[in-house]
Amino acid sequence: MFSGRYDHSIDDKGRVSIPARFRDVLERQNHDRLYITNFIEDSQRCLDLYPPAEWDRVIQKFEERRSSDRNSQLFETFYVGGAHEVPVDRQGRILIPPKLREFAGLGHEVTFSAKHNRFQLWARERLERILQAAEEQLIQDPEFLSKIGIVL
């Protein structure tokens, strides 16, 4: 569904334009809104953004698991409880809620990064650190891809 990384800017009101390629995917699926929530990847805070159909699948997974496990409940509170439904305006922009901007440390310069069924929004410098760590891992460990079960 989604692919690529795109640098954008958040305006003073907290709005950001969705990359054109991501908007194309959303428009083909008749989505006029996104679900946005907090996430932590590799100890770095970012935001996950889902089209409605994909968000419904996430919620369904939580409903199927209905676990009394403390960790599952904590993650659901963090992830689902932190989610906001945001409309996509006519210019292809969304308003990032202030609490989520603060959580992810989003300033003016941000990067959208695809995760096939969703995409993420990162403070640009944080994502650059993640990408550098990934590159170093690939350089230092020639067997890295086979260890994670990926053959290209």
User: For 58-85, what is each residue's pLDDT tens digit?
Assistant: 999 888 877 777 888 899 999 999 999 9
Return the pLDDT at 87: 97
Of 21, 134, 40, nearest in space to 79 by CA: 40
- The mean predicted confidence, pLDDT, of the chain is 93
Give domain limits for the chain: 5-124
DSSP state of 2: B
**Chain centre distance of CA 139:** 26
Look at the domain 5-124 and name its fold: Chemotaxis protein chec (3.40.1550)
pTM for the whole structure: 0.90
How many Å apart are CA 149 and CA 130, to the nearest integer? Answer: 20
Cα dihedral value 61, 101, 119, 126, nearest 10: -120
